[in-house]
């Protein structure tokens, strides 16, 4: 499987590809995350367009979607490192989520939240120069087609409560703990993950 790497003109500074007319999904594959479950990925020539969490609804069936391939080795290595608990950023895995301009702005801001950090919805709204858009940021998080790689699990409420997660609150807790968070109930303990 040949997948081209993105050029600087293809993406924003955070590795999020700018969708282009006619950009179609070209392959799909599965990744087995030890202790987590199977992730299903779909990608175009520009990057990953969908990542389905365990138990989630995959956008294609094997018969109806693009051909099934092994995911590229470089992506496999990054995911292996992540699920072993290593501190990594997902810059080596290009993403190309499809959505509205506002959603893509939110998702690009999420890609800038570092591993081991959390950001409140209000902070993400401020990051996109729309400080009153906290609810809209939450809605964009819920529509994120590439969870983990576009780390919407790193967004919490202002009072450190976890808030929601499209993959379920237990999955959000698991991902945050994997990144070093100490949680009590549905809250990130102060001092464990800094609010940026």
Q: pLDDT digits over 96-144, tens only?
A: 999 999 999 999 999 999 998 899 999 999 999 999 999 999 999 999 9
d(CA 156, CA 153): 8
Q: What does the pLDDT read at residue 2? A: 31
- Could you give all domains of the chain from N- to C-terminal order, each with its CATH number? 8-83 (no CATH), 101-188 (1.10.10.10)
Write out the two tokens for 85: 């608990």
Q: What does the pLDDT read at residue 143? A: 96
Active site residue 172: no
pLDDT in tens, 10-57: 444 455 555 555 578 889 999 999 899 999 999 999 999 999 999 888
Write out the two tokens for 177: 């703990």
Q: Is 181 left (phi over 0), alpha (psi -120 to 50) or beta?
A: beta
pLDDT in tens, 153-169: 999 998 889 998 989 99
Catalytic residue, from 53, 78, 96, 152: name it: 152
pLDDT higher than threshold 70 for residue 63: no
Which among 159, 108, 98 has a CA at the least distance from the CA of 129? 108
- Map residue 106 onto helix, strand or coil: helix
CA distances from 122 to 104, 146, 157, 159, 186 (A): 17, 21, 8, 11, 19
In this structure, the number of other CB atoms found within 10 A of the CB of residue 159 comes to: 9
Q: What is the mean pLDDT of residues 180-186?
A: 90
Q: What does the pLDDT read at residue 98? A: 94
Q: What does the pLDDT read at residue 12? A: 45
């Amino acid at each position: 499987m040949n997948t081209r790497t993105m050029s600087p003109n293809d993406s924003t500074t955070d590795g999020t590809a700018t969708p282009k007319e006619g950009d179609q999904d070209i392959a799909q594959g599965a990744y087995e995350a030890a202790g987590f479950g199977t992730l299903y990925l779909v990608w175009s020539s520009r990057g990953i367009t969908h990542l389905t969490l365990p138990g989630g609804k995959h956008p294609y069936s094997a018969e109806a979607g693009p051909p099934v391939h092994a995911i590229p080795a470089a992506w496999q290595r990054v995911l292996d490192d992540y699920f072993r608990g290593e501190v990594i950023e997902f810059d080596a895995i290009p993403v190309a989520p499809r959505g509205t301009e506002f959603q893509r702005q939110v998702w690009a801001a999420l890609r800038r939240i570092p591993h081991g950090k959390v950001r409140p919805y209000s902070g993400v709204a401020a990051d996109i120069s729309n400080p009153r858009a906290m609810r809209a940021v939450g809605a964009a998080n819920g529509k994120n087609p590439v969870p983990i790689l576009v780390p919407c699990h790193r967004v919490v409420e202002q009072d450190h409560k976890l808030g929601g997660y499209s993959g379920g609150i237990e999955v959000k807790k698991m991902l945050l703990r994997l990144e070093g968070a100490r949680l009590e109930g549905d809250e990130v303990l102060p001092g464990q993950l800094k609010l940026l």
